[in-house]
Structure 1
């Protein structure tokens, strides 16, 4: 009989993790006989919004543009790119033209109007590793502006003849890597932020006999929040690129939970949505990750200096679902027992994605909830 009850509960939990929209309909909160696992729903005791430094150096893409989202506010993104000369190559004939080749990989904003960016020289070497997204870097003189439709996938930006003449010696130099410092992409006009894929970004140096394709050596995106719109009541925005995180705290003090054996865990975070104007694109984040943080917001790291990620998920079906397994399940068990400095489960975005994509979290009646499969302690 007991084995059958355990089997039934396992099936119920599998139904939950498969994406059932109403967990209460499959027996959450049922208490079994002594020693038999039970399913317990534990709503978040508190939901806190906090700020931390977002870092975008050498992410998968670089962002540029300005977007005024009527539901969130206005954000401006400025991109920085530097390039490296292919090994064993040199410019040894007349330079005919130089082109910046950009392949769009991301779009947030109005698709019905054009975007104008300004291309500036960077006169000095600039940092990128570990740099916060709200950093300000000084740029040199403007090279040119260029206007495009934000839905364009490939841009070819020709650099002026005056720029080529002024940089002819640098482009031919054996010390190109240390004497050339790349460009800044700054917003000028339009209502969209676009992302350009680093792997496909090239600086083409076209000579009378050959075309040299310089690849990116480093990149950075800086973000400035220029205006803010309050979220609807009972909801809050979680937006990539802004350094904003959401911290969830759960009350594990009840003996039936604190001392229980943990077999499986699922964190569900309900989402809401708002309408967008015609032609306006507000993309969902590629991924959201769950980490544990202490009271000061510090994230435990691995021996390689990477954050200990408990789970990663993609928004789906109007909610986030984080399934904790293996070592991450053991970490949650230690949190329940009070054997770890971790006090909050934190929702954040991987630095590698580098987007401005937002999520509207619903914290009204359906609060973020942990569903736990537990074996209660013996009385």
Structure 2
């Protein structure tokens, strides 16, 4: 089987070039319905590209309805024209796929249940059903092999890695993601992302504290690996202080890590330095870590200041929050997935999730 070679000097990315070459052969009926394509390894050799590029190109053709690709059976042509949309009365299930670590940490929080309930509520309006799956840890497969005829698409949420994205793409299911992929850079992807504007959220939070009289704001964050949103959060903090005429003090930036215990260790070390502060801004916290920080304060016999605020996420009961509106985010995510499934003119977008001000209640 002969294929047109790719132009490695073209500004057009290789994934799109490769998909276009195969698409032309299908549309021109040089590849007929039912015909099996060369394997991924063979296509890699034919075009001189990486296996990742081959997989991305095939996934694009799967989404457009030209081919069906199953790991144990191969890749076959199923149509010589692109699909016009999914019939949601036939494919009437949507699957919420959540990163396992996130789920274990936050599944009992009102915010998580609010997100899930909002998606389920929107699904019911269309007479659709919501499935639930975990990925990450020991869960390396989605287990949806027998659901091709009923599952319309996926909504990914929580801690989602590039490896998770690659795994999901191999299933062929259309999907969108809530929150950014855990990656050092934010790339322009071929799927919708519904995410918060961390810079603006933190900026607004700092301005609110300054407006209430705060000048020495302790900034406690989750710093994992210099992710882009971590930089945005810190920059929002710095800029809000600068715009308020308050000098930035690096000693008031307190980094914690993934485990709740890291909050205890960081808070205890900070309190031992006896650095003055008059308020606390919590960035992206869960209840377990807040509990560990409170433990450090109690052990040092230091009372937390009366002015506290949490931004980005609002999972700590009793503390005012300026955080993502999870119900609205869930509704937006479901709406965007449906648009992707039914609108031939759909194009991937980055949608900013709205923030709301509220005080979480203890459940």
Computing the radius of gyration from Cα coordinates, the structure with the larger value is 1
Q: Structure 1-normalised TM-score? A: 0.23
Higher relative contact order (CA 8 A, sep 6+): 1
If the length of structure 2 is used for normalisation, what is the TM-score? 0.24
| More helix as a share of residues | 2
